Amino acid sequence: MTTTLEIHDLSIGYSKRAPLFKQINARLNGQKVTGLLGPNGIGKSTLLKTLAGLMPPLKGSIQPAVTGKTDNLCAFVPSQPPRAAHFSVRDTVSTGRYRYTNWLGIEDQEGKHMVSEAMELTGISHLADRNSAGLSDGEFQRVAIARALIQDTPLILLDEPTAFLDIANKRAMGLLLRKLAAEENKGILFSTHDLSLAMEHCDLFWIMTPDGVLHQGTPAEMEQNGTLKRLL
Amino acid sequence: MKKLWLLLLLLLLIVADVFLGSVRLPAAEVWSALLSGESSDFVSKIIWNFRVPKMVTALLAGMALSVCGVQMQTLFRNPLADPYVLGISSGAGLGVAFFVMGTSALGTYTPFPWLSDLGTAAFAWIGALAVMLLIVAASKRLKSNMTLLVLGIMIGSAGSALIGLIQYFSDAPALKSYVLWTMGSLGNVTGNRLLIMSGLCLTGLLISVFNIKDLNVLLMGEQYARSLGIKLSWVRNKIFVATTLLAGSVTAFCGPIGFIGIAVPHISRMIFNNANHRIMIPASALTGSCMMILADIISQLPGSQSVLPVNTVAALMGIPVIIYVIFKNRAVEL
């Protein structure tokens, strides 16, 4: 069963008098990789944070539809997550299970197994005992994704996950996001400025254009109807 | 393993603290006073009415200030934060200033002179509590911990300014007793006062243990904490309650003791190389009590007749340690 997010007449921003983006109607699909595209400052991060529940919507509703849970829907991965120094990678990932660990934050057997699995899946098992402050940007981005994965949410939202990565890591990130959608049934929404990466790995596009419209469709559709050209 | 080593060091220091003091006592007599009670009245009085309570006070104060310091550094993700960063010491100071100097500044008489020791503690505690309530009230409206930090510093400055005003109008003896309070002392906490302080500090330590899980997440940023469904204002309030019980109580009974609260977390991070609060909280409690008892031993100047203010000793002893930590390690990084 997949969880889908129905977004109806949503306004986002910091002030009711001057919303950043208005009347967003969209559907976020589970098990699909959706790329969020648009020029700087149009409100991609704000939209992601609003969907993740980190900012209140100014207007409108965000409802889980079709099936599934009503809370703990989205995990959020910022573009440069703050790191805790002298904190091992394993312990960092484990904090993602906040809702499920005991009062001291200690994992049971099942939890430990889930942490190991998430590290395996994101390819950071060999870093488990390293100090997370000593990792490269690419490595820590994977730690943050493992931490999001383990929150057991149907959807994962990522703000420019590839912004600070080199070419090889960008490609690896795209493949990882696709793997999460296909194998772990996660719905993925990530913002990016890398069009070729998005074309290669996304099932769907959300494109925010300066005229205040959020266009949805497959990459092929977007190319055909000329919406992609408007980004250039 | 390292904790065991620290525990042994602590036991050693505890014993040394009871055996050494400004009055030289033969070791055999101290033993018999401690174990069998068969010693002269004089020795047994010094041991049981003075040295043992002072040692327990140092133990508690060291633990309380260090555990409090860890929580402040984590909450504000700032290596310079200490137990007093929210203005608790100036709150307590203001309370004491009212009590000690208020009467002379206003030209009236102290209403309850026989209460003066306990009165000092009570007023200090009320001052600290008032500051905490102010911060909790503001915490609901302030989203960011950094804004809260600025507010804390402002409250601290306002308190200091008011204290300055009271000092300006008060007479010399009252001023002196206030200044003596600010220098800190572990020696005035005996009997019922020690019981009250122990109760408050142990409650604070217990709450701190229950904060461990949230502190670990807070170390990774407020946004991440909120994305996990944590209610920030609730977590902050739990931390503030622990802070007031710990730092507020120590300040009330011993005066504002600086340095320990900011330095010990860094020293524990250097020793244990692990910022997980499951390690950091007990480690800081251990390291902190070692430091405080050592400071107490030094302040007695064993063998000599004079005694130094414990605040001065703690600072002079610890500042070189901190500078060493900064240069040798990058342990201050959070």
CATH code: domain of residue B106 = 1.10.3470.10
Give me the pLDDT at residue B139, please: 80
Give me the pLDDT at residue B114, please: 47
CA-based nearest distance A54→chain B, Å: 6
Q: Cα(first)–Cα(last) distance of chain B, in Å?
A: 24
Q: Is the pLDDT of residue A131 over 90?
A: yes
Q: Are residues A115 and A163 in the same domain?
A: no
Q: How far apart are CA B28 and CA B25, in angstroms?
A: 8
Domain assignment present for B25: no
Q: Are residues A227 and A159 in the same domain?
A: yes
Domain assignment present for B277: yes
CA-based nearest distance B84→chain A, Å: 23
Contact B57, B254 (CB under 8 A): yes
Q: Are residues A4 and A99 in the same domain?
A: no
Q: How far apart are CA B295 and CA A9, in angstroms?
A: 65
- Count the domains in chain A: 2
Contact B99, B119 (CB under 8 A): yes
CB contact under 8 A, B275 and A86: yes
Domain assignment present for B43: no
Residue with tokens 């790329």: A35
Domain assignment present for A90: yes
Split at pLDDT 50, 70, 90, the class of A164 is: confident
Q: Which domain holds residue B107?
A: 2-17+53-328
Domain assignment present for A203: yes
Predicted confidence pLDDT, tens digits, chain B (334 residues): 778 899 999 999 999 999 988 778 888 888 888 887 677 788 888 888 889 999 999 999 999 999 999 999 999 888 888 888 888 889 999 998 888 887 665 555 555 554 566 778 888 889 999 998 888 888 878 878 888 889 988 999 999 999 999 999 888 888 888 888 888 889 888 888 899 999 999 999 999 999 999 999 999 998 999 999 899 889 999 999 999 999 999 998 999 888 899 899 988 988 898 999 999 999 999 999 999 999 999 998 877 778 888 888 988 877 887 787 777 655 456 6
Split at pLDDT 50, 70, 90, the class of A230 is: confident
Give the nearest chain B residue to A149 (CA atoms).
Answer: B228
Domain assignment present for B44: no
Where is the domain boundary, A101, A121, A152? A152
Q: What is the ipTM of this complex?
A: 0.91
User: Does the beta carbon of B276 lie under 8 angstroms from any beta carbon of chain A?
Assistant: yes
Locate all alpha helices (DSSP H) within chain A, ordered by sequence: 44-51, 89-94, 109-121, 137-149, 167-183, 195-201, 219-224
Q: Which domain holds residue A117?
A: 83-152
Q: Are residues A47 and A108 in the same domain?
A: no
Domain assignment present for B200: yes
Domain assignment present for A78: no
Q: Are residues A216 and A183 in the same domain?
A: yes
Q: Are residues A2 and A113 in the same domain?
A: no
Q: Give all strands of the β-sheet with A213-217 in edge-to-edge order.
A: A74-77, A155-158, A187-191, A33-37, A204-209, A213-217
Give me the pLDDT at residue A1, please: 59
CA-based nearest distance B68→chain A, Å: 18
**What's the whole-number mean pLDDT along residues A13-32?**
91
Q: Are residues A105 and A10 in the same domain?
A: no
Residue A145: count of CB within 10 angstroms of its CB? 28
CB contact under 8 A, B274 and A86: yes
- Count the domains in chain B: 1
CB contact under 8 A, B220 and A52: no
Give me the pLDDT at residue B270, please: 85
Domain assignment present for A163: yes
Give me the pLDDT at residue B331, please: 45
Domain assignment present for B32: no
Give me the pLDDT at residue A46, please: 96
Q: Are residues A192 and A223 in the same domain?
A: yes
User: Does the beta carbon of B77 lie under 8 angstroms from any beta carbon of chain A?
Assistant: yes
CB contact under 8 A, A133 and B212: no
User: Does the beta carbon of B217 lie under 8 angstroms from any beta carbon of chain A?
Assistant: yes
Q: How confident is the model over A60-86, as pLDDT tens digits?
A: 999 887 666 667 889 999 988 999 988
Q: Are residues A87 and A64 in the same domain?
A: no
Contact A85, A92 (CB under 8 A): no
Query: Is A71 exposed, middle or buried, given 0-12, 13-18 or 19+ CB atoms closer than 10 A?
Result: exposed
Task: Give the rounded percent of residues in chain A with a pLDDT score beyond 90.
Answer: 77
Where is the domain boundary, A152, A170, A192? A152
Q: Are residues A200 and A225 in the same domain?
A: yes
Contacts of B275 in chain A (CB under 8 A): 84-87
Give the nearest chain A residue to B274 (CA atoms).
Answer: A86
User: Does the beta carbon of B221 lie under 8 angstroms from any beta carbon of chain A?
Assistant: yes
Q: Are residues A121 and A170 in the same domain?
A: no
Q: SS3 for chain B, per residue?
A: CHHHHHHHHHHHHHHHHHHCCCCCCCHHHHHHHHHCCCCCHHHHHHHHHHHHHHHHHHHHHHHHHHHHHHHHHHHCCCCCCCCCCCCHHHHHHHHHHHHHHHHHHHCCCCCCHHHHHHHHHHHHHHHHHHHHHHHHHHHHHCCCHHHHHHHHHHHHHHHHHHHHHHHHHCCHHHHHHHHHHHCCCCCCCCHHHHHHHHHHHHHHHHHHHHHHHHHHHHCCCHHHHHHCCCCHHHHHHHHHHHHHHHHHHHHHHHCCCCCHHHHHHHHHHHHHCCCCHHHHHHHHHHHHHHHHHHHHHHHCCCCCCCCCCHHHHHHHHHHHHHHHHHHHCCCCCC
Domain assignment present for A110: yes
Where is the domain boundary, A107, A126, A152? A152
